[in-house]
Amino acid sequence: MTTTQPASQRRQPPISYPWGTLKTLPDLAKAVLHYLSQGATLTSGVPGSLDRETDSVLSGLTTMCENGFITLSSQPGLKAEKIWQRFYVTGILPADKAPLITQSLQSHNFITLVSNTETTTMHLPASLPPLPPSTSPTPPKDAEPKIPLTVTRAGLPSATFWRSMTDIPLPDKLENLMEGAAEGEKREVVMEDEGSLFEHHFDVNFAKFKLKKSFLRTLMREAVVVTLVWPEWGDTEGPMSKVLEVIKKEMEQQPESVAVETETPAGLPVEVTA
């Protein structure tokens, strides 16, 4: 969820929400839905601060959150003259539901990353589509291998180049990843030395909120952060539809449904210390 705010929106006060009262994952889902319903990013909290490109996936993000996949960041697929994007979404899932969801989406060639507090496990399909056209610069020999999510082109037509803007870093052992793996082969790697993306996403999205320590301990024990990436450039509707189908199927046994709250719950303090 990119934060791009016109001046008129920056003058609006940020959303007030009783983050210190959260106790469960469904509570967290309701909080995130409260922000989505006002078009606000978690990082700014200002209504209308979601980037315009999010309009094409906002309905899907809301449905995901209502069904227990608590969305944190995303982007639609895009294949324009000067920018190519892969569809992806990152969010929080109950740890016991994540394997069913990720395994199902892996069977449909999604790239998946699952992070707990200690490791991040990445599953890659047998092969990946190539980078955008031959104007791509040759990376330095010592460059860290990455999966680009967004690539932009700049410069004059006679001297164009592609620049990766958003990447998934990979361990050094997965060299030449973008050349594709051997036919029929899938890759799995557990990243321990890289540090867990779990803590990164919580720091970026929730550090400024006064979440109770007991709730944070619950999240560390019961939740994982999952990123789902569609490897093809420019697709949105197809991968979003598949993600929604799988999440609804695997999360249908959740005991508590989540409803959107358009007003801050009455009678609750805005901030509660940990």
pLDDT over 90 percentage in the chain? 41
Q: Which pLDDT does position 212 carry in this prediction?
A: 93
Would you state the structure tokens that stand for residue 211, as one six-digit string?
A: 């979440």
In a domain, 108, yes or no: yes
Report CA-CA distances (Å) from 152 to 81, 121, 162: 9, 28, 5
Q: Which pLDDT does position 125 carry in this prediction?
A: 82
Domain count, the chain: 1
In a domain, 93, yes or no: yes
What are the start-end ranges of the H helices in the chain? 7-10, 25-36, 58-66, 98-106, 197-206, 213-222, 237-251
Q: For residues 77 and 235, is the Cβ–Cβ distance under 8 A?
A: yes
Average pLDDT for 141-152: 66
pLDDT over 70 percentage in the chain? 66
Q: Which pLDDT does position 4 carry in this prediction?
A: 52
Q: Which pLDDT does position 128 carry in this prediction?
A: 75
Alpha carbon distance 189, 10 (integer Å)? 42
In a domain, 4, yes or no: no
Partners of 233 in the beta sheet? Answer: 86
What residues make up the domain containing 31? 15-77+86-130+178-251
Would the CA dihedral through 69, 46, 53, 230 be positive or negative?
A: negative
28 — pLDDT class (breaks 50, 70, 90):
very high
Average pLDDT for 256-274: 39
DSSP per position, 149-205: EEEEEES-GGG-EEEEEEEEE--TTSTTGGG--STT--EEEEESTT--HHHHHHHHH
Is the pLDDT at 23 greater than 80? The verdict is: yes
Amino acid at 14: P
Q: Which residues contact 223 (CB under 8 A, 6 or more apart)?
A: 25, 92, 93, 94, 95
In a domain, 173, yes or no: no
In a domain, 9, yes or no: no
Give kind and range of the element (H or E) at residue 78.
strand 78-79
Question: Which range has the worst mean pLDDT, 112-116, 158-162, 237-241?
Answer: 158-162
In a domain, 168, yes or no: no
Alpha carbon distance 149, 129 (integer Å)? 12
Q: Which pLDDT does position 123 carry in this prediction?
A: 86
In a domain, 257, yes or no: no
Is the pLDDT at 162 greater than 80? The verdict is: no
Question: Which range has the worst mean pLDDT, 41-45, 251-255, 257-261?
Answer: 257-261
Q: Which pLDDT does position 146 carry in this prediction?
A: 66
Across the chain, what does the average pLDDT equal? 77
Q: Which pLDDT does position 34 carry in this prediction?
A: 95
70 — pLDDT class (breaks 50, 70, 90):
very high
Average pLDDT for 147-165: 59
202 — pLDDT class (breaks 50, 70, 90):
confident
In a domain, 160, yes or no: no
